Amino acid sequence: MKSETKHTPGPWIMKPPSPTNSGLDAFDIVTDQRLIASVYLQLSERGKDLMEETGKNARLIAAAPELLAVCKIAVEMIKPNVYPCPDKPNSLWGKLQKLQAVIAKIEGGEA
């Protein structure tokens, strides 16, 4: 399950919302060297902004490198201590399979 990092290494940091060239506010996700992503403030159907939800989405994106690293550690800890139970998807083995699928999806493999 060990593989080289192919994404920009963390930590990624979320900056407070700021106006962009398009006039829309965005949360920027950055490293000390570059911009990773901008998460634009959404407007609801009623015209109210969704600042809180957009901020939570930006925080989730900013935490992605740390989440991936922790998921890999969890697999390394669980895998040697679990018995395959393909007929029990809610077993620890089933949860391990889901975790490995998410890691594969993140790393560009099959989920």
The predicted pLDDT at position 1 comes to 45
Highest mean pLDDT pick, 20-24, 101-105, 107-111: 101-105
**How much of the chain exceeds pLDDT 90, in percent?**
41
Specify which residues 27 forms β-bridges with.
39
* pLDDT band at residue 22 under the 50/70/90 scheme: low
| Residue 47 φ/ψ region, left for φ over 0, alpha for ψ in the -120 to 50 degree band, beta for the rest | left
Report cis status (omega within 30 of 0) of the bond before 16: no
Q: Is the C-alpha dihedral spanning 17, 19, 25, 30 positive or negative?
A: negative
* pLDDT band at residue 17 under the 50/70/90 scheme: confident
Tens digits of per-residue pLDDT, 63-82?
999 999 999 999 999 999 88
Angle between helical axes of 64-78 and 92-106 (0-180°, round to 10): 140
The pTM (predicted TM-score) of the whole model is: 0.76
Write down the domain spans for the chain.
1-62, 69-111
Sequence letter at residue 85: C
Is residue 46 over pLDDT 80?
Answer: no
